[in-house]
Structure 1
Amino acid sequence: MTRHDPRIDAYIARQADFARPILEELRRRVRAACPEAVETIKWGAPAFTYRDKLLGVMAGFKQHAAFNLWHGKQIVGEDAAVQEGMGQYGRITSLKDLPAKRETTAHIRAAMALVEAGTTTATARAPKPPPSLPDDLAAAMRGNKAARGHWDAFTPGKQREYADWIMGAKGADTRARRVAQAVEWIAEGRTRNWKYAKC
């Protein structure tokens, strides 16, 4: 029988109203498909292990929930597995976004079989192309040697965080504010998510 972890109860209780039933249903499905699963917390989110190997992780976000099978690429396929931050089932905003129970059961049992076979996850990924510097950010950094120097020293991943943040703005005013804030932080050598970095 699945070992119950009260930390998952607490995690689910803290989530938004829309997310709680989704996470409860995912938990029920994992427990039904894999009675030997052990509940735990990984990366601050509810996770399930099987024979001491990670089976899957679920999480609640501000506007969606996600379920990620550790062997998802091998089970569900490349296209679904590459949805960053969304897991194999994409953005789950309601129970109707979940696949049929039998499909989830099949996925979980396939993951169990891969664990039993000793299969490791396919960690080798094709490198992402370098991010393109948004024109407005490039213009705002022109003449600011500190900002440009730090930008050039950032890893492609750190550059991409800023580029994605700016390009994700829905309105021109928001984008302009983000560009101005980005230049200020970059000139100080700060990464996009510096507020959340461990000291």
Structure 2
Amino acid sequence: MKEDKNPWNKTNQWEEELGILKSIIDKTELEEMTKWGGPVYTINKKNVVGVGGFKSYVGIWFFNGVFLKDDKKVLVNANEGVTKALRQWRFESKEEILKNEKAILQYINEAIANEKAGLAIKPEKKEEIVSELWNAELKADKALKSAFEAFTPYKQREFLEHIESAKQEKTKLSRIEKIKPMVLEGKGLNDKYRS
């Protein structure tokens, strides 16, 4: 039975290599799931590794790879300065994967042990945004307050960032007047951009 194409195999030139990586992962206790349209291997529903093919390489990424010992010095941060925990091991041929099969398995097993030990980088808490002008509006209008509180914290934060990113008070007041009808209608600030 032919499997669906891996959407993380961007060029569809790595089918055999992805199959080899999958066969190595299958030797572990990881469970295959589909997340973000591609295969992700998990333990206790926590992401451990994923695989994908790109223009010049096929890779296995470790969601908390920052905690791996990386004795072979093969792991790379795909997005330096942005990605905190994720690390990739990139391969340019099936021969390279086969030659490193034992080490790949060791890295995966270490990643599983790290996940079981609870090693993870916790997301940084964002500083709370307070808008005195918006709070005054909410105090004055119970319907507005009730409608605003019905939004998720994320959407509330979008409104507050929009108001408080203005430098001048008159701009803040103007923004408040523009968002009040949206809040009362239950429309988030950026809903029109979300599908």
TM-score by length of 1: 0.49
> Higher helix fraction: Structure 1 or Structure 2?
1
Larger radius of gyration: 2
TM-score by length of 2: 0.50
